[in-house]
Chain A
Amino acid sequence: MAARPSALRRSGRVLLYVVMIVAAAGIMLPFAWMVISSLKQNNQVFTAPVQWIPAPVQWRNYLDIWVKADMVTWVRNTLVLSVAVTLLQVLTGSFAAYGFAKMRFPGRDALFLLYIGTIAVPWQSYMIPQFQMLSSWGLNNTLWAIMLLQAFGAFGVFLMKQYYESIPDSLSEAARIDGLSEYGIWWRIIMPLSVPALASLTIITFVSTWNDYLGPLIYLRDRSLWTIQLGLQSFIGEYNAEHALIMTGSVLSVLPIALIFLLGQRYFVEGIATTGVKG
């Protein structure tokens, strides 16, 4: 009698493992195909049946792409943008979050509601007025436009506020009695305590700026200003028959993000969980 349920449970668990492995393989398939194709000769990309192991391995693609595409410029522009946006977002976001989480003053909650409310407003609905405004300031076709566009989102404020609220007020009270100013409390007490949240915000902002396609598409016209996403998309249009090389470019555009993600995965996951649970 006792053996039966446990046998049933064991076979249930085996089934779960099978489901998990099949799902994982299915999810990763496009990436596997991307990497494999990037190491093939162009005429080997589409074959019937699919050739899962490239032979011979074409490492050359990874040299050719730097010649055929202006990868250096694209990566440089993307890096400049990602670093600048991340710095601005983390600094102003955590600064504002202190005001929202640790200070009490009239209008605070209404203001925060305004921030939250914009989560329901898609950027696509106000991209035109925003474009007109930034153009009238002469920022169209400059990297400044993208920096401004990305740096002041509600997300950073929201994430940092959620985290600050989990830090007990008694800490800042004690520091206040010791004569530390509010700015001092933010910088010396709260900031060092919120390193995990800062790491989350840093990684999430960096990755989303790196991956942004629409902002650069609308604002950056000069080839010298293109980001890796714009560059890759134009490369796809220009060399649309060079399947292997397109895959090489795709791998290169995903690689830095994949590395950052694997190194900082914990912060990524925690950051998202923080904004979700209490949201």
Chain B
Amino acid sequence: MATPVAHEQRTLGFTQPERPQLRAPRTSLRLRNALIGWTFILPNFLGFAVLTLAPVATLFYISLTSWNIFGAAQWVGLDNFARLIGDKSFHTALGNTFYYAALHIPITIVVSLSLALLLNQKLRGAAFFRTVAFFPYITSIVAVAVVWNMLFSPEFGPINQFLSLFVDGDLPGWTVSKDWAMPAVIIVGTWKDMGYYMLLFLAGLQTVPGELHEAARIDGANAWQRFWNVTLPCLRPTMFFVTVMVTIQSFKVFDLILVMTDGGPGQATLVLSQYIYQKGFEQFEFGYASSVAVVLFLICILVTVVQFLYNKRKEA
């Protein structure tokens, strides 16, 4: 991407001696402007191009090679992708990722929107509540995971002690149980992320015109009808942004699972990102790991494009 700059520098060199021509000053001004514009962007763009764009581009190449700790990358065409089809662990990781996403996306949206609506009621102490609800989002995943693991502790953890007041018989084993580990992770993920989306919704709610609510009230619409027919349609841009962000965030979930369950017990919470990590950084199969990464990449791009198109159609 350095070419446009080089190109402009060259043309600038040519235009300057031709000053006497009438139109030259304007063109040279435009070129000068472009050059200055680029100098503003360049320091950040260089880092961005080298550290983000270049790795993304090479990802596809690496995924088509067999490259491991024993030797250099060797072209194998689609072999890695063929191997994915029969790889049970990959299927598990893919399934678990969709499991996490299928619950985490709707729950987070509903909870964070409810919190935002609650805060928007202008109750006393709302500012304090906003701080509280947002606080989990800014705390580190390691500290949060270890606390929750203790809270979820099956025998003496406070959560099961609380549940035993209402439930007779077997209590969930949470992070040590194959069936309950994923719900436990989803609970923590939602608890941690909801504050962020709550803020986005809250900002969106400020853009809903008050007169519309007044008019609906006069027409006899109850609170639920007002929410459904006034608030929600007005929130569509925010809803779109939130949905895209929470979707991507769900499909790439990694550090939370890594520190809470390490993919376990067994492979009960193994997700795509972690499988990439295991193959790449623990077993040093860079080529194969990259083919899993391509799958993750495509999923995220695909859901974003679909949501974008859906939003476009609704807007029209």
**A207–B238 touching, CB < 8 Å:** no
Task: Mark out the residues of chain B between 135 and 191 whose CB falls within 8 Å of any chain A CB in the assembled complex.
Answer: 135-136, 138-144, 146-148, 150-151, 153, 155-158, 161, 191
A100 in the interface, Cβ–Cβ < 8 Å? yes
Residues of B within 8 A of A96 (CB): 40-41, 43-45
- A32-55 contacts to B, CB under 8 A, are 33-34, 37, 45-50
Contact A273 B34 (CB under 8 A): no
- Residue of A whose beta carbon sits closest to that of B273: A124
In the complex, chain A residues whose CB is within 8 Å of the CB of B199: 269, 272-273, 276
Cβ-defined contact, B286 with A273, below 8 A:
no
Instruction: Give B259's nearest chain A residue, CB to CB.
Output: A233
Question: How far apart are the CA atoms of A98 and B33 in the complex, in Å?
Answer: 13
In chain B, residues 245-297, which have Cβ atoms closer than 8 Å to a Cβ of chain A?
Answer: 248, 251-252, 254-255, 258-259, 272-273, 276-277, 280-281, 286, 289-290, 293-294, 296-297
- Which of B141, B151, B161, B202 is within 8 Å of A30, CB to CB? B151
A7 interfacial by beta-carbon distance below 8 Å:
no
Is A149 engaged at the interface, CB distance under 8 Å to the other chain?
A: yes
The prevalent SS among residues of A at the interface is: helix
Task: Answer whether residue A171 sits at the interface, using C-beta atoms and an 8 A cutoff.
Answer: no
Whether A149 pairs with B161 at a CB distance below 8 angstroms is: no
* A105 in contact with B150 given A121-B56, A128-B290, A258-B135 (CB within 8 Å): no
* Closest Cβ neighbor of B35 among chain A residues: A105
With beta carbons under 8 angstroms apart, the residue of B134, B200, B276 that contacts A276 is B200
Q: How far is B241's CA from A269's CA once the two chains are assembled, in angstroms? A: 17
Query: Min CB distance, A43 to chain B, in Å?
Result: 11
In the complex, A154 has a CB within 8 A of chain B: yes
Classify chain B's interface size.
35 or more
For chain A, give the interface size range.
Answer: 35 or more
Partner of B121, one of A16, A120, A272: A16
Q: Residues of A contacting B286 with CB < 8 Å?
A: 128, 132
Whole-angstrom CA separation of A49 from B138 in the bound complex: 30
Contact call B297/A254, Cβ cutoff below 8 A: no
| Distance of A239 Cα from B232 Cα, bound (Å) | 50
Q: Does A279 contact B (CB under 8 A)?
A: yes
A48 / chain B contacts, CB cutoff of 8 Å: 156, 161
- Name the interface residues of B116-131: CB closer than 8 Å to any CB of A: 118, 121, 123, 125-126, 128-131
With A30-B151, A182-B36, A247-B147 in contact, do A125 and B135 touch (Cβ < 8 Å)? no
Can you list 9 A-B contacts (CB < 8 A)? A49-B161, A92-B43, A92-B44, A122-B273, A124-B272, A152-B46, A153-B48, A250-B146, A265-B131
A-contacting residues of B (Cβ < 8 Å)?
Answer: 4, 30, 33-34, 36-41, 43-48, 50-56, 58-59, 62, 115, 118, 121, 123, 125-126, 128-136, 138-144, 146-148, 150-151, 153, 155-158, 161, 191, 196, 199-200, 202-204, 207, 237-238, 241-242, 244, 248, 251-252, 254-255, 258-259, 272-273, 276-277, 280-281, 286, 289-290, 293-294, 296-297, 300-301, 304
